[in-house]
Structure 1
C-alpha cells in the first residue's frame, strides 16, 4: 500500500514538474520569439533544474512543441464551446470562426501558433498540431454542414485547408492592427456563399 502511494506521489511530482515547465514555456514563448529564450530562463521560471527539463523534454524545441499543442488545444476548446446544442450547422461555423478569432487574441498566441510554430517545428508538424485541434473542429463543422445538406458536398480536405488559411490570415492581420469587423464580414459572406439558404 505504501509502495503504491509512493508511486502515485512520484507520478504526481513528475506531472507537476512537466506542467510547470509547459506553463513557464508558455509564458516565455508567448512573450518573446522562440530564438530569444534560452533553457536557463525556462528552468528558472519553472523553478526546476535543467536536469528536470531534459528528463521531460529532449530539448527546448520539444518543450515548444508541447506548449504549441497545449495552446492549440485551448483554442479548440473555445471553438467547441461556442455553439450550444441545437445550433444550425451554418451558424455553428460562424460561431466557431468568431470563437477562433477571440481565442487568437490571447497575447502572443497568434505569433506562437502561426509564425513561430511553422518556423521552429516545420510546416508539417505545425500543421499536424493544428489538424488535431482547431482545424479538426473546422473539419467536423464542415462535415456536419455537408451531411445535413447545408453545404454542397465539396472535397473536405481542400475545403478545410482553404477556410483555415483564411481564418489564419485574419488572425495575423487583426494581430497587426487590422480591422476585425471587416474580416468577419468577408468571412461571413464566404460562408454564406458556401451554405445553402
Structure 2
C-alpha cells in the first residue's frame, strides 16, 4: 500500500498552488499523518510517506474515516481549496468490509463535490466500495494489495480524465486514506 501511495504521489505535481496531498490511515479510528497544507514539495510528501507504518487493526470503521476526512482534511484550514473551485479527490484503499455505516459520510463528501475513488482487496465488499465511490465505476478491486500496481495506471488515468473535465486548470489536491 505504501508503494502504491508513493507511486501515485510521484505522478503528481505537488506544490502550494498545484496538487496537495494528505494521508489518513484508519482501522478502528482514523489517524491523519499530514494535511493538504502540511507540505508544499513532492520530496517532503514522499519522505513522510516512506517512514509511515501500516496502521492495521480491527474493526475497520470506514464510515468514521470518511467523516474524519470530511471534517478534518477537506477544510480550508487544512489546505483544501474546494471553495476556490479546485477539484477534491479522495482515493480510499480498503482491506475489508466496514463495521460502521459508510453511506451517510460518503454522501456528505459527494455533496461537497469530493470525487471519491476506491480500491479494495478481496476481503472488501465491492458493493460497499461502489456506494462509497463518486460513481460506481470509480471502485476498483485487487485480489491482494500486492496487485495494486495492476490498477494504478487505470486509477490515475480515470482521476486525470475526471479532473480535466471538472476544471481546465487541473490542479488536483488529493486526500488519500490508506
**TM-score interval, smaller chain:** 0.3 to 0.5
Q: Which is strand-richer, 1 or 2?
A: 2
Q: Which has the larger radius of gyration?
A: 1
Q: TM-score, normalised by structure 2?
A: 0.34
